[in-house]
Amino acid sequence: MPTNLVERLVGARVTTGGGGATALVDADGSITYAELYRAVRGYAARLDRAGVPAGACGLVVADDAIATVVAVLALWWRGMVAVPVSSMLTPAEVSFIAGDCAAGYLHLDDRAARALPAAGPLDVPRGGPDRAGPAPDEDGTPGDGTPGEDLAPAAPQAPADVVLIQYTSGSTGVPKGVRHTVAGIDAVLAGFARLLDLTPADRVFSTAKLSFGYGFGNSLLFPLAAGASAVLRPGPPDVYGVVATVARHRPTVLCAVPRIYAALLDRARHGDPPDLGSVRLAVSAGEHLPGPVCAGFTESFGVPLCNGLGATEVLHIVVATRGTEPDSTGTAVPGVTLTVRDDEGRVLPDGAEGRLHVAGGCVAAGYLDRPEAQARTFADGGAYPGDIVRRRPDGAIEYVCRRDDLLNIGGYKVAPVEIENAVRGLAGLAQCAVVGSRDHSGLEQAVAYLVPADGTESAALRRAAWKAFRAGLPPFKRPVAVEVVDRLPVTSTGKLARFKLRAAGVEPVPVTLRVLRAGRPDAPDRPDATAADRTDASGRPGGGGGGPGRTLVCVPHAGGSSGSFTRLAGQLPPGWRVVAGEADYADGVTLDRAARGWWRAVRPYLGEGSVLLGHSLGAALVAAIAEVAGADLAGVRLVLAAPPLLAGPVLRDLLAEPDDHRLIAGLTRLGLLPAGTFGPDEIARLLLPRFRRDVALLPDGFDLPVTVPVHVLLGAEDPLCTPAEVATRLPADLVAGCRTVEGGHYFVTTHAAQTAAALTAFFPD
């Protein structure tokens, strides 16, 4: 016979003699099971008198408080569908949800009541925040369910009845309503709740809100079903508030998201450990829990940390560890069957990455009015929550990333967490998130967003992160850009809103190419080479090997342009084709990002036997391009002309000089200004701004590895690159040839004929 959830969660506790036990605690006090039972019935009676129909959806727009739980339970008593919503959502967001579920009633806390006008979908009956229910009747009747009131009995609820709609957080866009049934709630109470092993002596504190599926189970379903008590805390779940709540209420079970545990651990490491002596078990879910945080928390506080994975589509946690198991997401909770499947729904073997599939009673009845999305998610006898995982032979699940977050970079599938792990523990880094962005060609690329810790300088953090990415990741996994931001965007439930970061995007480094006519110094050069310019006599792209059709692609020095190679082109044999480029580097652009922009631009001109030459800063870019391109650069000859091996200390000191004229004098003494007809004022106005931006690509000088064979050209009087430094800094087995040309740092321009002779000697016809 159908029964009501309120009778099972609250009424049964009262009828068995436990009515005097504390059920809920909030910022204003506490309430016993008997008081909660009366308050719920009083609220339901008022809904009945107001004519709110059974079966309607009731939006509960409120922060965590006793009144919020009373409202949810009263809706269930009345036979309505509860739709818990965060009070931090904007009026437009709440209005969308109200219209989407055709809400017939609103329960609003004080904040929401002030913020939400009674207009459009929000123009429906609404109730106030007091824990007895809606505002008193006009005659002043309190409606608290006391004897004498004509109370309607609890509405019967069958297993298949939808009683709860939880909206997805919108972390990937527009939220969807997920319909949960009585049977689904029963399954969760028989599943993950068994792992908590709650008793009436337990007190549960969840930093996740009731409006979030994870928090709804922690603060309402699990403690009430066990006869335990729940601590409800309003406001954002910052670590200071969490510590104060734990100190005041002494919970035995703490449920939080990974960033809270990381913050607690950080306080302990800085000599200010909070007292978690009352906590017997900690639970983490909502986002991926890094292994070091999991292990460090247990080591520091002596509290086992259960890692869990769930989703709105399956109501709560469906994969969990049995205590502290760093780097594991755990195994299936009771009543759940987990498989890993490919895009066609076929079950994959252990060790293979694929889509997590969940089967069991906790799987929702589907989305509200989203037939296409429902068909994609609720399929193959269960649900695909959207996680990419691996299954170990022992059945344990290893989390990889969200399906929507998986990056496809050059044909490689890359999980953002792999990139993020390269900077975990970096000094001065508070948070890191990596997302996929599209370049102007529609190709996916990784972008890292960093939040600095207090007192950390943004530029220093960016440099340190780039070093860590270079040291810990192969080229194809490195982000194309590192952006330092004050904070990461989050959804109303506190989860990272990756879709907002993706929408921000990263503009590609603009590179302009010009074809220079070899052997004809007086011939005009042409911008934007055509397809015909990119092929040799045999039709192969980029020009073939020796003989007619060899292509030389040039990358200029700091402050230089494609015109820097005009004289060199004029001195090369007529059979050569010369393509030179220039780029505009905005503030904050890194060497890796610039190299990817150059590679995208020059790739169509490079083929078997062609030559890629970079001068000074361009030499560093060529080395970086080699890392980005990898095997795609096979057959291309690389030339590093005047690689600035000694530039780091020199340029750091010079560019710290705020006075342009003193900077010009210093650069001139070192031979680091190209010879020309410009005077000091023109140099300061026209050259130095670009020079400063360009040199910023090399904050630590030529600090990158050479991993492929290269040819080296040196200026005999160049202070930044000497034969001794080449022998010391570059791997001898990878220096295919080294030649010295008369002149200083800019010998390519000042001694173009000798430079051309050196190139033709390197690569004879």
Rg of the chain, C-alpha, whole Å:
33
| Residues β-bridged to residue 256 | 284
pLDDT for the residue 602: 85
In the structure encoding, which two tokens stand for residue 489, read together? 């965007």
Is 710 part of any domain? Answer: yes
Residues 573, 460, single domain; the answer is no
pLDDT for the residue 260: 85
Rounded Cα distance between 753 and 572, Å, is 8
pLDDT for the residue 138: 37
How many structural domains does the chain have?
A: 3
Rounded Cα distance between 172 and 585, Å, is 32
Residues 548, 626, single domain; the answer is yes
CA atoms within 13 A on the CB side of 564: 27
Residue type (1 letter), 168? T
Rounded Cα distance between 567 and 433, Å, is 46
Rounded Cα distance between 550 and 609, Å, is 7
Rounded Cα distance between 556 and 619, Å, is 8
Pairing of the two strands 177-181 and 305-310? unpaired
Q: For residue 679, is it left (φ>0), alpha (ψ between -120 and 50) or beta?
A: beta
Q: For residue 498, is it left (φ>0), alpha (ψ between -120 and 50) or beta?
A: alpha
Tokens 């109200």, residue located: 98
Which among 582, 599, 638, 625 is positioned nearest to 759, based on CA atoms? Answer: 638
The CATH number for 635's domain is 3.40.50.1820
Q: Could you tell me the end-to-end alpha-carbon distance of the chain, in angstroms, rounded to an integer?
A: 93
Residues 138, 74, single domain; the answer is yes
Q: 619-636: string of b/e by CB count within 10 Å (b at 16+)?
A: bbbbbbbbbbbeeebeeb
Rounded Cα distance between 672 and 748, Å, is 13
pLDDT for the residue 467: 84
Rounded Cα distance between 173 and 500, Å, is 9
Rounded Cα distance between 528 and 524, Å, is 13
Is 167 part of any domain? Answer: no
Is 55 part of any domain? Answer: yes
Contacts by 525-530 with C-beta closer than 8 Å and gap 24+? 525/562, 525/563, 525/566, 525/569, 525/580, 529/579, 529/605
Is 169 part of any domain? Answer: no
Last residue of a domain, one of 443, 469, 504: 504
Is 568 part of any domain? Answer: yes
Rounded Cα distance between 431 and 444, Å, is 23
The CATH number for 34's domain is 3.40.50.980
Rounded Cα distance between 132 and 135, Å, is 9
Q: What is the DSSP string of 722-758?
A: -HHHHHHHS-GGGEEEEEEESSSTTHHHHTHHHHHHH
CA atoms within 13 A on the CB side of 64: 27
Last residue of a domain, one of 478, 504, 530: 504
Residues 549, 485, single domain; the answer is no
pLDDT for the residue 54: 92
Tokens 């590609």, residue located: 508
Low-confidence ranges of the chain (pLDDT < 50): 131-149, 170-172, 411, 440-442, 521-548
688-695 and 647-655 helices cross at what angle (nearest 10)?
130
pLDDT for the residue 411: 47
pLDDT for the residue 594: 87
pLDDT for the residue 675: 57
Q: What is the DSSP string of 417-441?
A: HHHHHTTTT-TTEEEEEEEEEE-TT
Q: Which residues contact 547 (CB under 8 A, 6 or more apart)?
A: 575, 765
pTM for the whole thing?
A: 0.60
| Residues β-bridged to residue 254 | 205, 282
Rounded Cα distance between 290 and 58, Å, is 38
Q: For residue 198, is it left (φ>0), alpha (ψ between -120 and 50) or beta?
A: beta
pLDDT for the residue 538: 29
Residues 579, 490, single domain; the answer is no
Tokens 């610039």, residue located: 594
Last residue of a domain, one of 504, 529, 553: 504
pLDDT for the residue 520: 52
Which among 608, 585, 615 is positioned nearest to 699, based on CA atoms? Answer: 585
Residues 639, 493, single domain; the answer is no
pLDDT for the residue 509: 79
Q: Which residues contact 668 (CB under 8 A, 6 or more apart)?
A: none
Is 208 part of any domain? Answer: no
Range of the domain at 23: 1-142
Rounded Cα distance between 536 and 543, Å, is 4
pLDDT digits (tens, 9 = 90+) for 568-597: 999 998 888 898 999 888 777 778 778 888
Residues 438, 482, single domain; the answer is yes
For residues 545 and 609, the answer to whether their CB atoms sit within 8 Å is: yes
The CATH number for 492's domain is 3.30.300.30
For residues 300 and 265, the answer to whether their CB atoms sit within 8 Å is: yes
Residues 137, 6, single domain; the answer is yes
pLDDT digits (tens, 9 = 90+) for 116-173: 999 999 999 999 765 333 443 433 333 333 433 457 789 999 999 999 999 986 444 5
Is 339 part of any domain? Answer: no
Residues 522, 605, single domain; the answer is yes
The alpha carbon torsion through 112, 118, 123, 126 (nearest 10 deg) reads 50
Residues 412, 454, single domain; the answer is yes
pLDDT for the residue 680: 62
Is 164 part of any domain? Answer: no
| Residues β-bridged to residue 121 | none
Residues 84, 2, single domain; the answer is yes
- Quick one: 21 exposed, middle or buried, by C-beta within 10 A (0-12, 13-18, 19+)? middle
Cα 388 from chain centroid (whole Å): 15
Residues 471, 527, single domain; the answer is no
Residues in the chain: 765
